[in-house]
């Protein structure tokens, strides 16, 4: 039995949906989650800065004694995958997990990818999907308004602002007749009902958070690293009150988790 925690980090609250999914299938595991709210959003930041921040966030998780680290952030996963792979503690990102899930499909229909601007700009999801699913068309769309809308509580189809954003962003994907939509940001699972309402039930939604949970569970079992007491510890570089107010929404629970405030790290560029 390995009681060390699983380290998970994200730029904001979205990674808590990965925590939620993991706790559902591995309730005994201890988890440390770091939300870098103080520097969010990541989507518009330059590449060199994102890579520097990836190393910093990995170090935060490692300092908490993590036995494995998961970047529940599509932006860092797509822009710093080599940094994750080279880190001394085993580290993975949503790119690995989501692509592996889609590669198992038996379909020739186009694949849609929605994510942050930085994720789409990197082209990492497209490249990985083209390699894993040869012959399938890949269409990526940046959705910069989704994260701020979700963190403002706009998550339902009946919300006019979210409905407009869904229609605007997904119109080209619907027109191309996609068969699968990859939610390349862990926030997006909270609006899956609105996405389904627009696209229709015939389109398969692949949630990065669910993929992450299954990926981590498999890795722990394969490497004999399972174990824990089911604890959850959260760290945030943002406002503690705001985190404790919004975290239950993403975790699907009423009470806020045990949370600590940590200083905002300088987002200086790589040297």
64, 185, 211, 234: the catalytic one is: 185
Non-local (6+) Cβ contacts of 17 within 8 A are 72, 186, 187, 189, 190, 207, 209, 250
Strands laid side by side in the 258-261 sheet: 91-93, 68-71, 6-10, 31-35, 232-236, 258-261
Domain annotation for the chain: domains and CATH numbers: 6-93+210-261 (3.40.50.1860), 96-208 (3.40.50.1860)
Give me the pLDDT at residue 100, please.
86
Q: What integer pLDDT is reported at residue 271 of this predicted model?
A: 40
Confidence of residue 268 (pLDDT cuts 50, 70, 90): confident
Query: What pLDDT is stored for residue 58 in this prediction?
Result: 98
Q: Smallest Cα–Cα separation from 46: which of 261, 267, 271? A: 267
Q: What is the pTM of this model?
A: 0.88
- Residues contacting 201, CB < 8 A, separation 6+: none
pLDDT, one tens digit per residue, over 75-102 is 999 999 999 999 999 999 988 888 988 9
Identified catalytic residue from 73, 133, 143, 211 = 73
Structure tokens at 122: 């990197």
Q: Is the dihedral of CA 65, 69, 154, 148 positive or negative?
A: positive
Asked about 73 being catalytic, the answer comes back as yes
Strands 31-35 and 6-10: parallel
211 flagged as catalytic:
no
Instruction: Tell me the pLDDT tens digit for each residue of 2-36.
Output: 999 999 999 989 999 999 999 999 999 999 999 99
The full length of the chain comes to 271
């Amino acid at each position: 039995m390995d009681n060390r925690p699983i380290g998970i980090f994200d730029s904001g609250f979205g990674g808590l949906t990965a925590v939620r999914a993991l706790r559902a299938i591995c309730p005994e595991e201890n988890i440390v989650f770091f939300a870098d709210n103080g520097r969010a959003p990541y989507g518009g930041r330059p590449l060199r800065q994102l890579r520097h921040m990836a190393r910093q966030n990995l170090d935060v998780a490692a300092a908490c004694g993590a036995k494995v680290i998961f970047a529940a952030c599509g932006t860092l996963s797509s822009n710093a995958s080599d940094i994750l792979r080279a880190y001394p503690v085993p580290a993975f990102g949503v790119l690995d997990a989501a692509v592996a899930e889609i590669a198992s499909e038996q379909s020739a229909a186009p694949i849609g990818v929605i994510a942050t601007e930085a994720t789409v700009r990197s082209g990492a999801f497209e490249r990985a999907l083209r390699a894993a699913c040869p012959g399938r068309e890949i269409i990526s769309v940046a959705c910069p308004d989704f994260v701020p809308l979700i963190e403002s509580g706009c998550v339902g189809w009946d919300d006019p602002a979210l409905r407009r954003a869904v229609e605007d962003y997904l119109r080209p994907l619907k027109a191309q007749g996609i068969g699968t939509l990859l939610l390349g940001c862990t926030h997006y699972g909270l609006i899956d009902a609105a996405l389904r309402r627009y696209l229709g039930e015939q389109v398969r939604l692949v949630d990065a958070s669910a993929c992450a949970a299954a990926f981590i569970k498999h890795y722990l079992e394969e490497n004999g690293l399972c174990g824990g007491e089911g604890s959850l510890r959260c760290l945030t570089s943002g406002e503690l009150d705001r985190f404790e107010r919004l975290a239950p929404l993403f975790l699907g629970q009423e009470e806020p988790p045990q949370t600590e405030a940590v200083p905002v790290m300088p987002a200086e560029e790589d040297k």
